[in-house]
């Protein structure tokens, strides 16, 4: 089958394709159809890609030799399973959390279905399925983080401290993680090349840790957090060696 997707960048278009088709990135071929650069009077950068997927018999439409016979896999979250995995709430706590999410998102005017994505000993992952996931995630995950904090407060009222609830929607967390690591690598290279330090945008502790870790073993570079409060900025610094 052939599908077309667009996005602001090639990457974004591919991510959209991965999401909408439920396939892995290596399960389809991508052809760039159109690249529209943002110009002076054209702020909308646009990339159109054409995606070629294998049909069910494993035959590709193009003539790449002997593609392995495999059905397109539906992308499923791989939960860290404890015992048998059940996406529905199982106990009072889980019911309370799921009910709270349903109630809050409904009263916000952006109803979401809460689905248990994984369970760990002191941690639970809940996925929000909603046609409004964009607004529920918010700019840089702001709304998702606020909801997550409130859900954690509710959880803390019912169980011991140390129990954590992680909210996600449309795989935002893992996508953001990957984007931050790519950013760290890019800035790392830049600092090495220019020997000038760079200050990144404010990030929460978890996000900063990702940056520090990504650059921890890169030569000639060190990272430091600057600023006050929860949202500090990471500075990437060139080590002069003197």
Which of these segments, 45-53, 82-90, 102-110, 176-184, binds other proteins (CB under 8 A)? 102-110
Residues 77 and 116 sit within 8 Å (Cβ to Cβ): no
Q: With binding defined as CB under 8 A, does residue 104 bind other proteins?
A: yes
Helices H / strands E in the chain, number of each: 6, 9
The length of the chain in residues reads 242
What Cα–Cα distance (Å) separates residue 102 from each residue in 95, 96, 200? 10, 10, 35
Q: What are phi and psi of 87, to 5 degrees?
A: -70, -10
Q: Which stretch binds other proteins (CB under 8 A): 85-93, 149-157, 175-183, 203-211?
A: 149-157
Q: Minimum distance from CB of 106 to other proteins (Å)? A: 9
**Binds other proteins by CB under 8 A, chosen from 7, 87, 111, 138:** 138
How many residues contact other proteins, by CB under 8 A?
A: 19
Q: Which is nearer to other proteins, 38 or 149 (CB)?
A: 149
Running DSSP on this structure, what letter comes out for residue 26? G
Residues facing residue 5 across a β-bridge: 49
Q: Tell me the longest C-alpha to C-alpha distance in the chain.
A: 62
158 lies in the site for other proteins, by CB under 8 A = no
CA distances from 192 to 15, 185, 214 (A): 29, 11, 15
Structure tokens at 98: 């799921």
Q: Is 153 in the site for other proteins (CB under 8 A)?
A: yes
Q: Is 150 a binder of other proteins (CB under 8 A)?
A: yes
**What's the min distance (Å) between Cβ of 180 and other proteins?**
21
Q: Tell which one of 30, 93, 115, 154 touches other proteins (CB under 8 A).
A: 154
Query: Of the candidates 213, 212, 238, 240, which has an alpha carbon nearest to the alpha carbon of residue 226?
Result: 212
Contact between 142 and other proteins per CB under 8 A? yes
User: Which range touches other proteins (CB under 8 A), out of 10-18, 70-78, 150-158, 214-222?
Assistant: 150-158
Q: Are strands 198-199 and 46-53 parallel, antiparallel or unpaired?
A: unpaired
**Helix ranges restricted to H, 22-164:** 92-108, 133-137, 142-158
CB of 71 to other proteins, least distance (A): 39
By CB under 8 A, tell whether 107 contacts other proteins.
yes
Q: How far is the CB of 151 from other proteins (least distance, A)?
A: 10
Q: What is the contact surface with other proteins in residues (CB under 8 A)? A: 100, 103-104, 107-110, 135-136, 138, 142-143, 145-147, 149-150, 153-154
């Amino acid at each position: 089958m052939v599908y077309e997707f667009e996005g602001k960048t090639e990457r974004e278009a591919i991510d959209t394709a991965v999401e909408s088709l439920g396939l892995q990135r290596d399960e389809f071929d991508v052809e760039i159809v159109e690249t529209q650069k943002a110009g002076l009077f054209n702020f909308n950068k646009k990339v159109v890609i054409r995606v070629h997927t294998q049909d069910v018999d494993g035959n590709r439409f193009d003539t790449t030799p002997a593609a392995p016979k495999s059905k397109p896999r539906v992308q499923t979250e791989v939960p860290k399973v404890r015992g048998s995995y059940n996406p529905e709430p199982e106990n009072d706590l889980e019911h309370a959390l799921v009910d709270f999410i349903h109630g809050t998102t409904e009263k916000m005017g952006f109803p979401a279905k809460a689905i248990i994505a994984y369970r760990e000993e002191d941690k639970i992952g809940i996925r929000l399925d909603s046609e409004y996931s964009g607004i529920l995630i918010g700019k840089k995950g702001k709304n998702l983080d606020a909801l997550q904090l409130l859900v954690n407060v509710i959880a803390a009222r019912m169980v011991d401290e140390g129990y954590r609830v992680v909210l996600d929607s449309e795989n935002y967390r893992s996508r953001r993680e990957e984007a931050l690591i790519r950013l760290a690598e890019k800035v790392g290279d830049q600092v090495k090349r220019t020997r000038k330090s760079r200050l990144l945008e404010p990030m929460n502790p978890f996000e900063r840790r990702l940056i520090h870790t990504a650059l921890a073993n890169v030569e000639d570079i060190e990272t430091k957090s600057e600023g006050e409060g929860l949202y500090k900025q990471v500075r990437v610094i060139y080590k002069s060696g003197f």
